[in-house]
Structure 1
């Protein structure tokens, strides 16, 4: 059974609720960690960081950076510049982790797009180190290869991370994206100290929607506890983020969502 003190509530699990609303609900329900998204922190990330600190909340990560591939050199530079800003935002929020969702190919050249991801990380890693921020590569499920990420396995993410310092570039292990992989437990063990984050949700059968069809823990087929035990055996002892994109869940009150998340977390994670 996972310790509730490790539960981090990813802001997107409450859908359109503001960062302040989610923070207040976390405090009311005894949640100590929060995972904000960039679109919700406003124009003053330092102010958002102070608000979360005043609420007594710790920030497990900031989502998202990445999206490096682009059709032109100028556009790729814009993506890099945006990632440099995201690193500064993470530092302002007092988190040491920026989650990288690495984007699709701008054309049919998926191998070229994957090299753009490597080059993009290389362009920002020194700035991240200077700000005390680590970069977490999040491999997505292969169904997202065409529109969200050309990095779709832990094995490939590990190959990329291995080109950089283990203190600076690692992986975000999200059960929704990696549970299906026959090499998943080998790759978790291989990742070791490069496991920078662990995210949980569930895979509903039948899947109602690729993006918006994530389930509450226990409503699907993922062996969540086995995966949690594997990442812990590999050395990860940090916060565990619950990240669920589901409109039916988003239609509920934030307090109700957080209470169910906490209940399922204790019981199933």
Structure 2
């Protein structure tokens, strides 16, 4: 896979500002960018949008919305309001898709969390439709199911999409979170057949994680899951940009230009 087929998530190069990300991703020959909200916090979003348009990078997604669950109606209403703001910000930035990490509240059952997630997505879909922005539900690894995301499998995400049945609602498949699923091929095929496979994220999973969130690895440097999942996604018909999303305290201490070159080399064997 060539670098112009890759989009880099700005959290991958966390030490850089949004301007450094835009300038250097383009300089290194990457094709696109997915912008994390943390990277543009406090920035003039219209200015960032202009800078992005001038860069030649393809705008892929805004990360992240969601976190819909809560024990009170007021908490859930505030989450909906926050996501409506995220939709407006995504529109200002010119980013056509928002990745949803849907949330989970400790003490609630998975079914309660999933029900609240479904209701909340339904509440924000009209605003997404008005803005022409797609919403991509990202299933997270089950280790996050208690307090971060009750959507733990591709099947969970597919079920939510089927229940809401909206053309702007789909799934973001992230290797780190879904590689372990014995029904993965079936659910990727199901998702793609319904035209709901909106995004594909790569990094590798390590067996000896030092941190459950911030110790991800380059493709091919962990359990070797990327190539297999990449082949499943491509065989299902996914033709969008492959997004690189690596959270690593170790790589963040390195020279970020060298890190980007490592990403190119690691992703090159992917088809």
Cross-structure match for 1:203: 205
Give the root-mean-square deviation of aligned CA atoms: 1.4
Cross-structure match for 2:259: 257
User: 1: distance between equivalents of 2:47 and 2:116?
Assistant: 33
The higher-RCO structure (CA 8 Å, 6+ apart) is 1
Q: How does 1:28-107 map to 2 (within 5 A)?
A: 28-41=27-40, 42-107=42-107
How far is the alpha carbon of 1:46 from its aligned partner? 2.1
**Range with greater deviation from structure 2 (8-17 or 193-202):** 8-17
Q: Is the 8 A contact 1:199 1:243 kept in 2?
A: yes
Cross-structure match for 1:190: 190
How far is the alpha carbon of 1:244 from its aligned partner? 0.7
- Which secondary structure does the structure 1 equivalent of 2:163 belong to? coil
Q: Is the 8 A contact 1:179 1:222 kept in 2?
A: no
Cross-structure match for 1:11: 10
Q: Is the 8 A contact 2:6 2:32 kept in 1?
A: yes
For structure 1, which runs of at least 5 residues remain unmatched after alignment? none
TM-score under structure 1 normalisation? 0.95
How far is the alpha carbon of 1:165 from its aligned partner? 3.5
Cross-structure match for 2:19: 20
Superposed CA offset, 1:101-129 (max 9, x none)? 01112533332111110011000001101
User: 1: distance between equivalents of 2:35 and 2:253?
Assistant: 19
Cross-structure match for 2:175: 175
Q: Is the 8 A contact 1:71 1:106 kept in 2?
A: no
How far is the alpha carbon of 1:226 from its aligned partner? 2.5
Superposed CA offset, 1:144-167 (max 9, x none)? 011211110110110001123352
- Which secondary structure does the structure 2 equivalent of 1:136 belong to? strand
How far is the alpha carbon of 1:143 from its aligned partner? 0.3
TM-score under structure 2 normalisation? 0.94
**Range with greater deviation from structure 2 (31-40 or 171-180):** 31-40
